[in-house]
Amino acid sequence: MLLLLRTVERRAENICEKERQGRATQAEFHASTVYIKLTRMCLTYVLCAEERETEVTRVRNEAKMNNKFKDPEFLTPIIEKYREMRNLWEVKHPQYYIKPVRKATLEKLLAFVQTFIPEATVEILERKIGILKENV
């Protein structure tokens, strides 16, 4: 497909040059219009393919990370660390409603999690904590 596109591209360049000189025939002019449409379609196709590939890679990475989160050797220390950080879960804790303090505590927990799973983020950690709370 790429070879075909390059061939069409060269022909279209020749036609564009003829158009500038005023020597292009009606068929050649039409061919350059078709080339422009084809190029746009191919670029759209390439961009869509790249987006799909990125999406597939992201889903695979997320699945691998989910498997790491389910590992008992990982889950037990994380739960223990989370229990120590009472302002993340105990509603009556004085710092529970102070968002900057909670965020700082969550960042500490994230640093601990990243020793096991380097690609973990705050959003993912919050989601996993929510899942753990639901399953209790």
In degrees and rounded to multiples of 5, residue 119 shows phi and psi of -85, 5
User: How does pLDDT run along the chain (136 residues), one tens digit per residue?
Assistant: 555 556 656 665 665 565 556 665 555 555 555 555 555 555 555 445 555 567 667 767 777 777 778 888 888 999 999 999 999 999 999 999 999 999 999 999 999 999 988 888 999 899 989 988 887 6
**pLDDT at residue 100, as a whole number:** 95
In angstroms, the CA 118 to CA 123 distance is 14
- The interaxial angle of helices 99-114 and 122-135, nearest 10 deg, is 90
Residue-level pLDDT at 73? 86
Angle of the 72-84 helix axis to the 99-114 helix axis, nearest 10: 150
What is the structure's pLDDT at 90? Answer: 92
**CB neighbour burial string for 32-49, b if at least 16 within 10 angstroms, e if fewer:** beebeeeeeebeeeeeee
